[in-house]
Amino acid sequence: MVLLAFIGVALVAICLSDVIRRRIPNALVLFVLANTLLLNGLYGSISGIYSAIFVFVLTVILVRLRVIAAGDSKLATALAVATPLSQLTLALWLTAMVGGVVALFYWVKYRVVNSASQENDPGLPYGLAISVGFYLPLLAHYL
C-alpha cells in the first residue's frame, strides 16, 4: 500500500519536528489528510468520516481546555479520516498509552534529571503519541 507508506513517512517527519521544535507543520498534516482521504475513498467507508467528526469535536474540546495543541488536533483529525469506527477505540487507547510513556519519559528527563521548573516546561511532543496510536490500527486494518 503506497498510501500507507506515504502516510508513514510523513508521520516520521511530523514526529521529528514535534520532538525537536514542538511544532507540527501544517503542510505535512495536509499531506497526511490528502492521503487518508484517498485511502478512505479507495478502500474505506463512510465510518472514517464519522471517526473524523468525533475526533475533531473531542480534540477541539481538549485544545480549548489547553490539554493538547491545535497541531495535535489537526493531526488526529487527519488520521481519523481513514480510521473506521471499529478501529477508533483502539487508536484512541493506543494514543493514550503511548502518550503516557512519552509523558513519563519527559517527566524523568525534565524533572528528575534536569530538575527544571514547570515554568520552563516545553510541553510534550504529543504528535508522536498520536502518530503511533493511529498509524498502527491503520496498518492493521488496511494491510
Can you list the alpha helix ranges (DSSP code H) found in 22-116? 26-43, 47-64, 70-80, 85-107
Q: Look over the chain and give the mean of its residue pLDDT values, rounded to a whole number.
A: 94
**Is-contact 107 64, C-beta < 8 A?**
no
What local confidence, expressed as pLDDT, does residue 113 receive?
73
Helices 85-107 & 47-64, crossing angle to 10 degrees?
30
Categorize the per-residue pLDDT at 116 as very low, low, confident or very high, splitting at 50, 70 and 90.
Answer: low
What local confidence, expressed as pLDDT, does residue 123 receive?
84
Categorize the per-residue pLDDT at 110 as very low, low, confident or very high, splitting at 50, 70 and 90.
Answer: confident
d(CA 77, CA 114): 34
d(CA 71, CA 31): 14
Give me the residue spans of the domains in the chain.
Answer: 2-142
User: DSSP string of 103-138?
Assistant: HHHHHIIIIIIS---GGG-----HHHHHHHHHHHHH
What is the DSSP code (8-state) at residue 55?
H
Cell digits for 103? 509523558
What local confidence, expressed as pLDDT, does residue 118 receive?
65
- The model scores a pTM over 0.75: yes
